[in-house]
Every structure is written in C-alpha cells, then in structure tokens.
Amino acid sequence: MWKLLWKILKTGNLTEAQKTDPGCATPSEYRHSAAIRHLDAGSCNGCELELWALENPVTSLGSRGLSFVASPRHADILLVTGPVTCHMREALEITSEAIPSPKRTVAVGDCAKDGGIFRGSYAVMDGLPSIMEVDVFVPGCPPRPEEIAAGLLRAFAEKTPAT
Amino acid sequence: MEGEVTDLPFDEGGLCLIPSEEGIPRALLPLDLPANYLREARFLKNSGALLKGVWGATSEMPSVYAAFLLKEGLVVLSLSLSPDTLSFPSLSEIFPAAGRFERMVRDLFGFSPVGLSDLRPQTDHGLWVRPPLSNPNIPVAHLQPSSPPGDYPFVRVAGEGVHEIPVGPVHAGIIEPGHFRFSVVGEKVLRLETRMGYTHKGIASLFRGRTISEGARLASRISGDSAVAYSLAFSQAVEQATGITPSEGSRFVRAILLERERIANHLGDLGSLGNDAGLGAALSLFGRLRESLHRTSLTFFGHRLLFDSLVPGGASSGLSVSAVEHLLGECDFLTRELSQLERIYADHGGLQDRFQNTGILSPEVAHLYGVGGVAGRASGQAFDARVDHRGDPTHRFAPALSLDHTGDVAARVRIRFLEIFESLLFTRSLLLHLPEPPLTMALPDIPEPREGCALVEGFRGEVIGWVRLLPGGVIESAHIQDPSPLLWHALEAATPGNLVADFPLINKSFNPSYSGTDL
C-alpha cells in the first residue's frame, strides 16, 4: 500500500492549465457544474477513446466542473458520437427525451456532424442533425480531448434557446 | 513473395501456403462444390485449424469465405454459391464458433446456411425489407426473409427464483452499444446472452467500388482502437493481390506502429481494470501514461490514435534521428513506470481478490471457440502471429510468447503486463536497427480481378483482412475480420457462475469491439 501512496504523491498534479478560448463559457457562466450523458450512436470507438482521455489527470474534465453520468435523468448535456446508425436511432431518441430541459446537445466527431466516412451507407442516418437539433459541433476524426472540452464549455456560452 | 513454400497434403490436389516477406504464410483456395467446402473444413479441423471468420461477398458470383488459422499459416476457403439456391453448408457442427458468423452472412446477404440450427438474426434488427447486401437482380423470394420486428428470442432459463436482467444497448458510461441479457438467481449469473448489431454501419457496402486509398482510410475507422491492425491487414491483403512487397523501412515503421497501438490499448485496459476493481488511482496512473503515448504519436506519426499512419505499399511517415531518440526515451520511461505499477497491482490485496478466480475461461472452451489474442493466451492457447510466423522484421528480434493457464481476469491482466514489456523491448530493437527511410511503393495495376488476404496480430487478437480488387485500383469487395465475435463467445462462457457485479470487470478483461463485430 505504501508503494501506491508513494507513487501517487510522487506523481503529483499533472493537470494542465486551461487555455482561455474566447468562444468558451467564462466561469461566471458556468458557476454550477454540468453533467454529461454520452451516447455512442454507432461510433468506431475512436471518439470514445478520446472521451476517456478527457478524464485522465492531464485534461481532467472534472476539475472544470464537468462529469459523465450514467442516467440521462441526471444529465444537462447529451454528448453524441457516431454517424447515428439506423439501429441506434430509437435508443438515441429515448435517451434524449429522458434528459430534462433545459439541456444542450453536443455532436462530437465528423461522423456525428454529417455521417463522416460512413455517409451514404444504407445503415446510417448521416449524422445527428438529421434526427435532432444540435447546439455545438466538435469536428475531428476524432477531435482531440482539449477540443472536446472546449466544445463542452461552448455549450454554455452560446445563447441558443434550450430545447 | 519468395522463400520456401509449405505444402499441406490437401485431398483436392494439395494446397500451397505462400510465405511473404512481411506477413504470415497464406493461401486462398477457391471451391465450387458445397461438398468440397465441407470436406476441406473437416480436413482443416483434423489438421488442428481454428475457424477465425466466415463472411460473404457478392461480385458477379455470390460467394462465402471462411478463414482458418493453422500452425503453418492462414487458409481462406471461398465457395461460389449456386445462384438458384444461394445456400452454403454451415460449419457449425465442425466449428461451434461458425454460427455467429453465418447468421451475419444470412442477415446481410440472404444466403442460407444449411444445417445451422440457430437462425436468430445477428445483425438484422427487423428494419430491412431485403438483405441489404444482396444482389438487386435476385428476386426477394430466393433470399432468406428479413426478420420481423419484435422481441429477440433470447434463450429462457426456467426455474424457481430465476429472473432476467436486460442491459443495454445504452450502458452506464463511455462504452459502445450492445445488449446483454443475464439470467440470474440471486446474485449469481446462470446464463449470459449478447445481442449485437447496434453499431452496424454497412462497412461492406462502403468498401464496394472505392479506390484503394479510400479503402485504406475506411479500414482505419472500422474499430478505432485497432486502426493500425486494420489498415495493416487491409494493406497486406492489397499488397498480396497486386504482388508487391513493401520496402524494409516501411516494414519497420509498420511494426513500430502496431506495437504502439498494442501498448496504448493495454495501458488503457489495465487502468480500466484497476478502476473497475475499485482502485481509482489506477485509472489516473495508467491514463497519464496513455496520454503521453498519444501525444508522442501525434508529434511523430501525425495522429493520436495512429489513424491513416500506414497505407498500402508503405507507411505514411519516416522517423528522423531526433524522433528515434525521443521514442527510445519513451520506451525507457514506460518500462520504468510500468515496473512500479506492476508491483503495485501484484501487491494490492483488494485488486488481486477481485481479479483471481473471476471470469474463468478454461483452456478447453478457449480452444473450442478458437479464441486467440490476449484472452486466448491467458487460457493456454499458445499462439501469437508475431511469434509463430516471424515475417520481417519480427523474426530478427523475436518477441517472446506471453502465456498463462488460469484463464481468469488476473491472467488476462498478467498477459497484458507481459505483452507491454515485450512490446517495449521489441520497439527498442526496431528503433535501434531502423534501416533506410520508408519508401512507399506505387501499386501496379492488375490485368484481371485478384484477391489477397492477410492476418495481423492486433492488440485483441488476430485481425484478418481480405480484398478482391478490380483492374484500375478499384475495390470490388473487402472484409476485415475482428477477433471480437469469438471474444463474445468467450465472454458468454466465462460469465456464468460469477456475480452480476463482476460482469463489468470480466467484460473489460476481454474488451471485445462492438463496432468491429457489427461492421
């Protein structure tokens, strides 16, 4: 046990300073923390790897007041990855409806934007906008963790009416 | 494509496994008669082969392919189907793992597997009027009907106090979608069934008619965590079909990329396994290492997850002297850090208590379903394509086989640690002996349609690539077979008898790809 404690102590705090992005919410705009419900709508799992990276000590999304939650009932933000496969459409709609308003919808990755490389296939809906209104797009294949974090903060700054 | 040719005493005139400079020896055997297909499959079984995949294709002739792994190499049988019946003999009586693959062929192409008893849909969720990859000129009446929408008939377990727990497709966390049905008594799982198909994106239809470079981009994005293994399997298949051998420099860079992907994923899995067993600090300690690896990948290979880092004919980038120095430093750093973390895992009573005797996959069951990769090697299946088929440059440095026999979560954790250390040593040797900068070869045009296949040891297990090219550099059909369908069998076999609460840990220890399964 002492080895583990020593390792944690020696590793120290690795979280990098946040870069100020003019498009992002200022601390006064997100005084309260926000909870994210992630939904994989048929992603290749590349975006999921970068979502995992958001929670590593370097990016440390939690220290910015954002955390992933299990239940959509506890969520403020719906974060969708993947091109929206026909087989995930129903589950996506049910999850979205289960999130209480006001909520924000964030489409992460090129696939969620317009289907990306899978666009035109019989099995996909060509992106999230074909199903629901999207507040923030985070393009990239996959977008880098800091880009996703900035996109999530932008969700608060943009004065779009909540659905 | 030179070297010694291995002859297998096939009853149909013999079969030559052609060795290649880079990959493992392989052979494609076209067959016309269903009876021959069955006979060859039986013969392969008797020669100790494992079934690694079955897939369909509709070119001018509808056909079914089956991939087998032998000690000698990879054998792919192809059977042309009669347009009148569109049926093929099921291999499920010879290889129990065949059913899952054949159900997918039936759903997507409408070909009927004769002799398969379990005809429940695998990928079809009742939304399709006709099988989506069937030839439009064939009347629907000739095809297997698409399943009606409604409840999927899970196998019911009867008995006092037995109840079902449905989980998914949406899970609690950052995970891919799929459905698990547990039959449970009290805390104990009696049966687990998985239901897949939620991430089906129609990959086969997207390959059709694309150029080779478009196909390579798509191959990187079928299962993001295996981008290198998939593009390497695709590239080697294309190279076999066009008859070229990538330069020595490219082969080295490709081998380095494949090991980087393995290390990154094993780091991620080890952190998540510690976290799932209650050691939150593990997620941070491993997450930090993984992040540093991704950043180095971005600097020197242009992508954090190494997407598009290799192309048919070569690799996308070379390595400068300073890059090699940096990467060598990274190997030392990771070796040092991991030695400490391995000690911490081994000494942590709470972790070992959760890991040991949890989710046991016995060597017999692993062999029965042909489970390879990390899960197979943790259950006594002594195969690693990098060790057993030492193409170049692997044969020069020969990574050692990591093997365990207990088959529990603890064994799969140990295998991952062993493999990272071995990968770091291997990467070190590759970096120290790096030959001339990689030269990407131009792909020659082919006079008539040609096929190629390949097998790559990805971080999960064997990834098989197959491609059929048309003159002009156009893909007629392509398929990449992930080991995950076999891992779902392993998961279904290893879970009963365990507590429901241990399932996330067991699932993570196998870590199958949903996207790689559904295609």
Portion of chain A with pLDDT greater than 90, in percent: 60
Structure tokens that stand for A100 in this block: 């209480």
Nearest to A56 among B176, B288, B341 (CB): B288
Quote the pLDDT of residue B517. 94
For A31-157, CATH number out of 3.40.50.720, 3.60.21.10, 3.40.1010.10, 3.40.50.12280 equals 3.40.50.12280
Answer whether A88 sits within 8 Å of B176, measured CB to CB. no
Nearest to B515 among A45, A71, A124 (CB): A45
The count of other CB atoms within 10 Å of the CB of residue B285 is 24
Quote the pLDDT of residue A159. 52
Q: Which residue of A has its CA nearest to B227?
A: A46
Q: Spell out the per-residue pLDDT of chain B, length 519, in tens.
A: 334 445 554 545 456 677 777 778 888 888 889 998 999 999 999 988 999 999 999 877 889 999 999 888 899 999 999 888 889 999 999 999 999 999 999 999 989 999 999 888 889 888 888 888 888 777 766 666 556 656 788 888 888 999 999 998 999 889 999 999 999 999 999 999 999 999 999 999 999 999 999 999 999 999 999 999 999 999 999 999 999 988 888 889 999 999 999 999 999 999 999 999 999 999 999 999 999 999 999 999 999 999 999 999 888 778 888 999 999 999 999 999 999 999 999 999 999 999 999 999 999 999 999 999 999 999 999 988 888 766 777 777 878 889 999 999 999 999 999 999 999 999 999 999 988 777 788 888 889 999 999 999 999 999 999 999 999 989 999 999 999 999 999 999 999 999 999 999 999 999 999 999 999
Give the residue among A41, A42, A155 at the shortest CA–CA distance from A102.
A155
Quote the pLDDT of residue A92. 95
Nearest-5° angle of CA B226, CA B413, CA A12?
90
User: Which residues of B are less than 8 Å from A117 in CB distance?
Assistant: 206, 217-218, 221
Phi then psi dihedrals of residue A37, to 5 deg: -105, 115
Nearest to A39 among B127, B170, B347 (CB): B170
**ipTM confidence:** 0.89
Structure tokens that stand for B183 in this block: 């039959």
Structure tokens that stand for B228 in this block: 């290198």
Q: Give residues with Cβ within 8 angstroms of B465, minimum separation 6.
A: B219, B230, B232, B233, B234, B235, B236, B237, B453, B454, B455, B456, B478, B479, B480, B481
User: Which residues of B are less than 8 Å from A56 in CB distance?
Assistant: 283-284, 287-288, 290-291
CB A65 within 8 A of CB A34: yes
Quote the pLDDT of residue A23. 61
Nearest to A121 among B202, B307, B343 (CB): B202
Answer whether B199 sits within 8 Å of A88, measured CB to CB. yes
**Distances B412 to A112, B457, B472, B482, B497 between C-alpha atoms, Å:** 34, 16, 45, 19, 18
**Residue B356 distance to chain A (closest CA, Å):** 19
What is the gyration radius of the CA atoms in chain B, in angstroms?
22
Quote the pLDDT of residue B144. 63
- Structural domain spans, chain A: 31-157
Structure tokens that stand for B379 in this block: 């259950």
- B311-347 burial code (b ≥16 CB/10 A, e <16): bbbbbbbbbeeebbeebeebbeebeebbeebbebbee
CB B304 within 8 A of CB B298: yes
Query: What does DSSP say about strands A34-40 and A77-81: parallel, antiparallel, or unpaired?
Result: parallel
Spatial distance between the Cα atoms of B407 and A100, rounded to a whole number of angstroms:
44
Mutation target vs B (from A16, A44, A97; most B CBs, 10 A cutoff): A44
Quote the pLDDT of residue B3. 40
The count of other CB atoms within 10 Å of the CB of residue B149 is 9
- Structural domain spans, chain B: 6-142, 162-195, 247-449+484-518
What is the gyration radius of the CA atoms in chain A, in angstroms?
17
Quote the pLDDT of residue B282. 92
Quote the pLDDT of residue B147. 60
Structure tokens that stand for A6 in this block: 């020593």
Q: What CATH fold (topology level) applies to the domain B6-142?
A: Beta Polymerase; domain 2 (3.30.460)
CB A35 within 8 A of CB A75: yes
Quote the pLDDT of residue A30. 56
Quote the pLDDT of residue A154. 84
CB B449 within 8 A of CB B185: no
Spatial distance between the Cα atoms of B184 and B179, rounded to a whole number of angstroms:
16
CB B169 within 8 A of CB B177: yes
Mutation target vs B (from A2, A38, A69, A87; most B CBs, 10 A cutoff): A87
User: For residue range A48-102, what is the model confidence (pLDDT) as tens digits?
Assistant: 999 999 989 888 888 888 899 999 999 999 999 999 999 999 999 999 999 998 8
Quote the pLDDT of residue B481. 95
Quote the pLDDT of residue A21. 62
Determine whether domain B247-449+484-518 maps to CATH 1.10.645.10. yes
Quote the pLDDT of residue A19. 64
Strands (E), B168-321: 179-185, 188-195, 310-311, 314-315
